[in-house]
Structure 1
Amino acid sequence: MKPLLKTEALEIRTATAQLVQPLSIALYPGRVLTIIGETGSGKSLFAQGIVGNLPPGLHARGRVEFGTGFSEEGRAGGRQALWGRDIAVLPQEPWLSLDPTMRALGQVSETYRYVRGTGAEASHRLARQDMARMGLEHAEAKFPFQLSGGMAQRLAFAATHAGGAQIMIADEPTKGLDSARIGEVVELLQAGLANGGALLIITHNIEVARRLGGDVMIMHKGKVVESGSAEQVLSRPAQEYTRQLLDADPKRWAPRSRPIFTNEAVVQVNDLAVARGGHTLFEGLSFKTRRGEIVGVTGPSGCGKSTLGDVILGLMNAREGTVTTQAGAPRVAFQKLYQDPVAAFPPSVTLARNLTDLVSLHRLDSSRIDVLLQRLRLEPSLLNRLPGNVSGGELQRFSLLRVLLLKPVFIFADEPSSRLDLITQQEMIELLVETARENATAVLLVSHDEALIDAVSDQRIRLGSLNPSTNTAEHADTLTRLQPYPRVKRA
């Protein structure tokens, strides 16, 4: 059987350094290859080298071949003619693959029409079916900026999948999704394999790798340290690094002691009701977040988790209820860690300049930058790069560094580890918790990972989009259902 995709000694380099060591793979019809590894290990760069869309300053050596008979050197650019039709690419950041000026339905239907040549009426019908399957039937007329991160990821997947390419390269296709939506994406990926396609997937989600099966490669610092069947590598790893990666799963984290908080509330929410686009997301929500306390928020995609944080930060208004913040604290003391770090950094300014400007504007201690770089395992050389030229996980850690420089009293952390591998996620979350305890910083932590929230949170908030009145708050091990409250206007 002839492989649909083959690489021969494909390596990724700068002018002076080798970032990914020569790597040869063969991907056959109906097969999946999953690449797992730490953030910055070279997984995404290898995939970009295959596709032919490496960032400026990087280039590929070696050879790339496709089952159609197409073959070229890694440096060449002829592969771009295959994009969409023979090889589909789902990038890590959905905002990089979505047109910000086009409504959601059009993004999917135009793929059917202009890539597959389907008629206009059939394209719209098929696009609606795809969006309904992904739980996006109510988002057809929305623009990407009106969608949550998880909804945008599902839309990007639907638009990419509609092209019908035999080879799909998916970089973190399930990040930012709840367990139900992850299952739907896995089923769609498996359907493509059943039709004779092949899948190269990059993921930090060990469970996704197990469910997809096939072959798994573990990458570390630009080279493959272990490879084999998914069952073998993920159940009986031979290398110590692979074992460390698996042990960093939040399900295996040691339980933490939960302190009793008796100090003042940094944020107090009373009888909050929030609607978006005429749809009520939640109502009757009340809770306090005290100094040094970690409050975890969970719920399905689109239920209002990110919106809750935006209301607390004053970025949008609630329909009803009040939000009271710590008296005397300046606005800059209330910070947000964005779910999509790309949207939080100016694209044409280096990371070094970004941090320098922040230090200058707020008269901060610049010596803390080096300390935080070391704690977050960020190479100082990355400071000279633009945000688009570092990995999503590295950029998310720079987001945390920037927030910690400001010594905030409150951090709204919106899926802060969704782009991180398990090892780096554990280190980042531990640093966030340590910082909260040491500096008496209140944290509202949003995540789809129930195990992660169980491991670190002192209080739980559960939101659900199907019935807004069933939202619940949980403190310690006691679950309390929120009862209807008299409706009041926001103060």
Structure 2
Amino acid sequence: MSLLQAEDIAVFDGQTRLVAPVSLRLDPGAPLIILGETGSGKSLLAQAIMGILPAPLRAEGQVRIAGLTLRARDPAGFRGLWGRQIAVLPQEPWLSLDPLMRAAPQVAEAHQLVGGLPPAAARLQTAVDLAALGLTDAQAHYPHHLSGGMAQRVAIAAARAGGAPVVIADEPTKGLDAARRDDVAALLLAAMAQGGGLLVITHDLALARKIGGQLIVLRAGAVVETGRTADVFAAPQAAYTKALIAADPAFWPKAARRTTPQASSGEILLQAQDCSLSRGTKNLMQGVNLMLRAGQILGITGPSGCGKSSLGDALLGLLAPDQGRIIRAPDLARTAFQKLYQDPVAAFARKRLLGQTLADVARLHHAPAGQIDALLARLRLDPVLLTRRPDAVSGGELQRLALLRAMLARPRALFADEPTSRLDPITQRDVMALICDLARRDGLALALVSHDAALINAVADDVLALPAAVQPSGPPAFARSAAPPRPPARQDRSADRP
């Protein structure tokens, strides 16, 4: 007997159909993956099945779950099932976590109110859950003190606390390194092995392979291919599926390291000299030295929580090093140094239309007429997105809009913190081509943070690999922090300031 059946689910914005009718079923112990590019309608489909579509979108079709038949157009009928029969792991943890509550109490509250555990048992189970996700030392921290990957894992623990038999995981591994991605996959599969149902929405090819089961490939709101995941990856039939798999960074040609003229002779724009950094009582790194030149692409890698984002804050003057010096080219304005944060949802004012925000930035920095339209086209973004608020677009679209906003300030140096973690392989390839073209053609100094070693190897002139633990002496080393750096959302508006 199936745990969930969705029949002819479609999503509309007024009279415009965003998702064509899709039918699917979840059986106990049999995972289902929906794979597709950014903006293909994957998350909208999941939201329709959950009854949580944002206004003014509406859904059609019906959902059968827990012996009930629910109309997708009537979201009120789903509310009694949330957390108890069906749980969602959100794509944007910053929208699901309470900014005024510490990590552990948020998970414990779900164990109490949804799972029905007594307070002491809820706290004990919370400690077990967070330890299993590598978050033992992060239990007392607020969401804004967590890295994107850590916030994602806290959201996973909270969503799973109610014990719902059906789990919908929307991009559950974005921003996580390979080890953490595999940990999350194992956690999801373990829950399903106990008789639960698992629906995973992702553009992460490695995660899809890891989960296995059945696969639906979605493009522009329509199904283009279905089948067993292993079979589709081994012999894709649809041209789009073939292109999606071929766009994996593992298949990109590797960069010719240190051979480009800019990488060795461009103007020095940023330097770190023997720098040590900490957040609170946690040491993040010590003895760091780097130099970033105009036109150079520096790849920065390391496990979640090792201090990559803090290094960017220090380079841009948002965090003072404990020791050492940060030197920026003295003839450049502060707005010439920009940062792309890994969580774009925290980078935009939630109540303002995206077009208003971008128009303000363009006016502030005297961007040429038509610059926004030109960048929209290069980033494969529909101009209609400018008429929406941040919560009405996908995470991948918002990430590209954050890049567009930064480019309106005409930066000379850009610290890009996981700029493609929310993008499907095809869009990721195109966006990285744009960023690299800006670096090579316009002399942009680019520090690129990514968990994807294949991507870094394909585009970077040089690579700075940050290890996970501080050494008491010896060469520069780094520590995994219980409260990895993340400035409040308001600090990501450097492009809005004169």
TM-score above 0.5: yes
Q: Does the 8 A contact of 1:297 with 1:460 survive in 2? A: yes
Offset at 1:352?
Answer: 1.1
Q: Which runs of 5+ in 1 are unaligned?
A: 472-480, 485-491
Q: Does the 8 A contact of 1:170 with 1:202 survive in 2? A: yes
Offset at 1:470?
Answer: 9.0
Structure-2 change in CA distance of 1:142 and 1:482 (3 Å): closer
Q: Does the 8 A contact of 2:285 with 2:477 survive in 1? A: no
Q: For 1:402, which of 402, 405, 409 is the aligned residue?
A: 405
Rounded Cα–Cα distance in structure 1 between residues aligned with 2:394 and 2:472? 40
- Verify: 1:268 aligned to 2:261, yes or no: no
Rounded Cα–Cα distance in structure 2 between residues aligned with 1:18 and 1:206? 27
Rounded Cα–Cα distance in structure 1 between residues aligned with 2:268 and 2:203? 35
Structure 1 segment 44-83 matched on structure 2, within 5 A: 44-66=43-65, 68-76=66-74, 77-83=76-82
Q: Does the 8 A contact of 1:216 with 1:228 survive in 2? A: yes
Structure 2 partner of 1:454: 457
Rounded Cα–Cα distance in structure 1 between residues aligned with 2:470 and 2:453? 20
Structure 2 partner of 1:303: 306
Q: Does the 8 A contact of 1:282 with 1:465 survive in 2? A: no
Structure 2 partner of 1:285: 288
Helix, strand or coil for the counterpart of 1:445? strand
Offset at 1:468?
Answer: 4.8
Q: Does the 8 A contact of 1:294 with 1:459 survive in 2? A: yes
Rounded Cα–Cα distance in structure 2 between residues aligned with 1:161 and 1:16? 36
Query: What letter is aligned with 2:297?
Result: I
Offset at 1:482?
Answer: 4.3
- Verify: 1:157 aligned to 2:156, yes or no: yes
Structure 2 partner of 1:349: 352
- Verify: 1:317 aligned to 2:320, yes or no: yes
- Verify: 1:106 aligned to 2:109, yes or no: no
The alignment-based identity, stated in percent, is 48
Q: For 2:381, which of 375, 378, 385 is the aligned residue?
A: 378
Query: What letter is aligned with 1:74?
Result: A
Helix, strand or coil for the counterpart of 2:278? strand
Structure 1 segment 79-98 matched on structure 2, within 5 A: 79-98=78-97
Deviations 1:388-439 (A, max 9, x none): 1111111111111111122100101010101100100011111000001111
Query: What letter is aligned with 2:9?
Result: L
Rounded Cα–Cα distance in structure 2 between residues aligned with 1:105 and 1:238? 46
Structure 1 partner of 2:199: 200
Rounded Cα–Cα distance in structure 1 between residues aligned with 2:414 and 2:196? 43
Rounded Cα–Cα distance in structure 1 between residues aligned with 2:349 and 2:316? 21
Deviations 1:117-155 (A, max 9, x none): 111111111100111111111111100000111111111
Structure 1 segment 329-344 matched on structure 2, within 5 A: 329-344=332-347
Offset at 1:167?
Answer: 0.4
Q: Does the 8 A contact of 2:185 with 2:207 survive in 1? A: yes
Structure 1 segment 212-227 matched on structure 2, within 5 A: 212-227=211-226
Query: What letter is aligned with 2:67?
Result: G
Helix, strand or coil for the counterpart of 1:156? helix
Deviations 1:416-466 (A, max 9, x none): 101100100011111000001111110111111111111111111111222
Helix, strand or coil for the counterpart of 1:303? coil
- Verify: 1:420 aligned to 2:420, yes or no: no
Rounded Cα–Cα distance in structure 1 between residues aligned with 2:396 and 2:327? 33
Structure-2 change in CA distance of 1:134 and 1:470 (3 Å): farther
Offset at 1:99?
Answer: 0.8
Offset at 1:483?
Answer: 8.8
- Verify: 1:134 aligned to 2:133, yes or no: yes
Structure 2 partner of 1:259: 260
Deviations 1:188-242 (A, max 9, x none): 1111111000011111111111111100111100101001001111111011110
Offset at 1:158?
Answer: 1.1
Instruction: State the 4+ residue runs in structure 1 displaced beyond 6 angstroms.
Output: none
Rounded Cα–Cα distance in structure 2 between residues aligned with 1:416 and 1:33? 27
Query: What letter is aligned with 1:211?
Result: K
TM-score for the superposition, normalised by structure 2:
0.93
Structure-2 change in CA distance of 1:36 and 1:446 (3 Å): same
Rounded Cα–Cα distance in structure 2 between residues aligned with 1:470 and 1:199? 46
TM-score for the superposition, normalised by structure 1:
0.94
Rounded Cα–Cα distance in structure 2 between residues aligned with 1:163 and 1:303? 31
Offset at 1:264?
Answer: 2.2
RMSD after superposition: 1.4
Structure 2 partner of 1:115: 114
Q: Which runs of 5+ in 2 are unaligned?
A: 479-498
Equivalences, count: 473
Query: What letter is aligned with 1:88?
Result: A
